[in-house]
Structure 1
Amino acid sequence: MKCPECAYVNPDKVRFCLNCGRKFVSGDHSQQDLNSLFYEFAQFVDFVPRHERSVEPKFQNIFSRVFRKHSELEAERLFIVGTALTTPKIEEVKETWPKPWLFARIFLIALIVFVGMYLGVSWFRNINFIPGLIIVGAFAVPITTLTFFWEMNAPQNIAVYKIIYVVFIGGILSMLVALVFFDILKHNINPITIGIVEELAKVITVIIFVRNIKYRFVLNGLLLGAAVGAGFAAFETAGYALRALLSGSIHNLYATILWRSILAPGGHVAWAALTGAAFCLVQKNMDFDSKMLLNPKFTRIFIIVVLMHALWDTPISGISLIVQIVLMILSWVMVFRMIQIGLKEIANKKVQLYTKPAGSES
């Protein structure tokens, strides 16, 4: 479909030009619909039939599209959200549970690459594959988990570029902040202080990013927190993997990557996501104030996360792995609860918008 405005050649069935935004008007929509550019965009990217959408947080509903066949074009359409052209107005945001699926494809791609790196090291004995194996192994699961949070961000107001930026800059910044705190503590390092330091470092970094008025939704805090946590987790895993390799055992390297990958979704990614969402829950549309950190809605989540982190790092003979699995499950119960709160926030904002007296400020 060639755009009459800019001559850009678009894929078939596109309802507006992906280059200049020109609408391809048809007689199938009302004038009110045509007044919304995002209506056209939403029809372009939303492949979820309305009868399949559900506000109930049931696993069979949320993950119902994971095992369906999806084209590359569908993935490409997902990656264009969050720009100035494709960010919807609040009244156009759906407050029902999204149906993420791209995260599973990201994991499959990363797994294939990791297997290739593994064969290069173990089968062909080529040490040039080791750096790639460590990098892919460290980032695969954190990025997969982050993609899930990105797909669950119903406001669709954060672009992929921004997420990549937060993963790398937020990840390294939070680690450096944690090192400063550890240097201050010196010899007073134990599971409790580790939990406090690392979670405080991550939440400080998250606050830097969510202070932008564009990212005030609870789901935004959840996503940006997950991005910081993913960077922190990946860099940390890469470091531990290198230590395992320098110990002289390639098997320790594989074991480190394997177990840290299995447990990654319930660790730094989920914890930073929860504190990020909790901060957005108390910040709302107000300017940042340090008193917000004393708000019970935030402190309650932060304390729970710190305690989970401390318990996670506490060596308990014989049952440490079981404890970590239980904590991972608990973390995701809280994550889904926070997603539910975020969706209700969107619904409430839409109600307030529709009930606002005529002539009032938006």
Structure 2
Amino acid sequence: MALPTARPVRPPRHWLRVLWTGLVLWTATVLVTVITANANLLPTIVLLGSFLVPVTFVVWAYEHGRAGEVTVPLLFNAFVVGGVLGVLGASLLERYFLAPSMWMYFGVGLIEELVKLLALAFVARRLQVRTLRDGLVLGAAVGFGFAALESAGYAFNAMFTVHGISVRSLLETEILRGLLTPLGHGLWTAITGGALFAASRARWRVTGGVVLTYLSVSVLHGLWDSMHTIAIAATLYLTGTAWQYRLLELGYLPRATDAQDHLITLLNWAGLLVISTIALLWMRSMAERSRYGPRQPYTGP
């Protein structure tokens, strides 16, 4: 008589419950706000819409990658404390060290990835043993906390237009940022956090691999932020006319034609897709290494 084979244990799906519950609550809040015109509900829309996707992905990361000493309280601290420290640090450094230039977006990438990594090191300072997988999970938590607070700020500012408070502009901003959130801060900080933890073990160590990872992720960050500008420059280079070049020489940005607008949009989204693919493949490689590979110091991408 054949013995029954054991079924593989599937990871819990609490993240899916968090996503659907939050989505229902956000939708209900939007509907009630539109029906009643109650401005007191606008902060609820901002908070629910900005935190829904980041919190969902933190829960997903914890369920699929929990190991070592990563606990729920530590994860919460990484999301809240790490996120707040990252936003405050980035705001101060960008205020005093950045000036408008063609390299400004790469400066933003260097600063924001640094402050998030420092915030992660602060939150995880009491961990006795650090592993690559722990770094991925806690790094994602810090990054998504940063993203949630940043998105709340963008959503808040989007409400105020020259015509007054615009709920539509608020919703458009939250939906777009919600869709792009999994490909931004959480992903980038997971990569740098995994590299830092893998190199550190019992005490913090900044190796050449960690520095190379940080610089590479900062470049991806800078390319992501500047992709629309790059798309405009590429479009003008490929399809620009004499009068457009003349306006550029005079210091004015020429208005794009309809055909050029379509090309700008295409190049912009194609660039974001390439950047996201590189980052996702990179993180997947690190996750596989943490699961099956030998425990050796991380040497970089």
Same fold (TM over 0.5): yes
Partners of 1:242 and 1:253 within 8 A in 2:
yes
1:170 alignment partner in structure 2: 82
Partner residue of 2:272 out of 300, 306, 324? 324
**CA–CA distance in structure 2, aligned partners of residues 277 and 251 of structure 1:** 38
1:52 alignment partner in structure 2: 8
Task: Report the Cα offset of residue 156 of structure 1.
Answer: 5.4
1:117 alignment partner in structure 2: 29
Superposition map of 1:273-312 within 5 A: 273-285=190-202, 287-288=203-204, 292-293=205-206, 295-312=207-224
Q: Count residues with an aligned counterpart.
A: 251
Task: Report the Cα offset of residue 173 of structure 1.
Answer: 0.5
Partners of 1:215 and 1:221 within 8 A in 2:
no
Partners of 1:263 and 1:328 within 8 A in 2:
no
Structure 1 residue 344 corresponds to structure 2 residue 292: yes
Partners of 2:68 and 2:130 within 8 A in 1:
no
Task: Report the Cα offset of residue 186 of structure 1.
Answer: 4.0
Structure 1 residue 160 corresponds to structure 2 residue 116: no
Task: Report the Cα offset of residue 109 of structure 1.
Answer: 1.0
Structure 1 residue 250 corresponds to structure 2 residue 206: no
Larger relative contact order (C-alpha < 8 A, sep ≥ 6)? 2
Structure 1 residue 335 corresponds to structure 2 residue 283: yes
Structure 1 residue 198 corresponds to structure 2 residue 154: no
Structure 1 residue 149 corresponds to structure 2 residue 66: no
**CA–CA distance in structure 2, aligned partners of residues 156 and 299 of structure 1:** 24
Task: Report the Cα offset of residue 146 of structure 1.
Answer: 0.8
Task: Report the Cα offset of residue 52 of structure 1.
Answer: 2.4
5+ residue gaps, structure 2, are: 232-263, 297-301
**CA–CA distance in structure 1, aligned partners of residues 186 and 129 of structure 2:** 18
**CA–CA distance in structure 2, aligned partners of residues 170 and 103 of structure 1:** 21
Task: Report the Cα offset of residue 256 of structure 1.
Answer: 0.5
Partners of 1:138 and 1:261 within 8 A in 2:
yes
Task: Report the Cα offset of residue 215 of structure 1.
Answer: 4.8
Stretch deviating more after TM superposition (100-109 or 233-242): 100-109
> SS state of the match for residue 52, structure 1?
coil
Task: Report the Cα offset of residue 322 of structure 1.
Answer: 3.2
Stretch deviating more after TM superposition (321-330 or 107-116): 321-330
**CA–CA distance in structure 2, aligned partners of residues 321 and 134 of structure 1:** 26
> SS state of the match for residue 334, structure 1?
helix
2:133 alignment partner in structure 1: 219
**CA–CA distance in structure 1, aligned partners of residues 71 and 112 of structure 2:** 27
Partners of 1:216 and 1:284 within 8 A in 2:
yes
Tell me the percent identity.
26
Task: Report the Cα offset of residue 280 of structure 1.
Answer: 0.6
Task: Report the Cα offset of residue 100 of structure 1.
Answer: 4.8
Partners of 1:218 and 1:280 within 8 A in 2:
yes
Partner residue of 2:182 out of 250, 265, 268? 265
Going from structure 1 to structure 2, the CA distance change for 1:242 and 1:109 (only over 3 Å counts) comes to: same
Going from structure 1 to structure 2, the CA distance change for 1:325 and 1:109 (only over 3 Å counts) comes to: farther
**CA–CA distance in structure 2, aligned partners of residues 309 and 110 of structure 1:** 28
Partners of 1:263 and 1:325 within 8 A in 2:
no
Partners of 1:210 and 1:221 within 8 A in 2:
no
Task: Report the Cα offset of residue 333 of structure 1.
Answer: 1.8
1:357 alignment partner in structure 2: none
Going from structure 1 to structure 2, the CA distance change for 1:185 and 1:216 (only over 3 Å counts) comes to: same
> SS state of the match for residue 123, structure 1?
helix
1:167-224 Cα offsets, whole Å, 9 max, x none, are 1111111111112211331425611101111111101111222333335011111111
Partners of 1:174 and 1:201 within 8 A in 2:
yes
**CA–CA distance in structure 1, aligned partners of residues 172 and 118 of structure 2:** 32
**CA–CA distance in structure 2, aligned partners of residues 51 and 330 of structure 1:** 34
Structure 1 residue 237 corresponds to structure 2 residue 142: no
Greater share of helix: 2
**Paired letter, 2:17:** R
**CA–CA distance in structure 1, aligned partners of residues 216 and 6 of structure 2:** 37
**Paired letter, 2:156:** L
4+ residue runs of structure 1 moved beyond 3 angstroms?
A: none
- TM-score, normalised via structure 1 length: 0.65
**CA–CA distance in structure 2, aligned partners of residues 322 and 136 of structure 1:** 30
**CA–CA distance in structure 1, aligned partners of residues 15 and 285 of structure 2:** 20
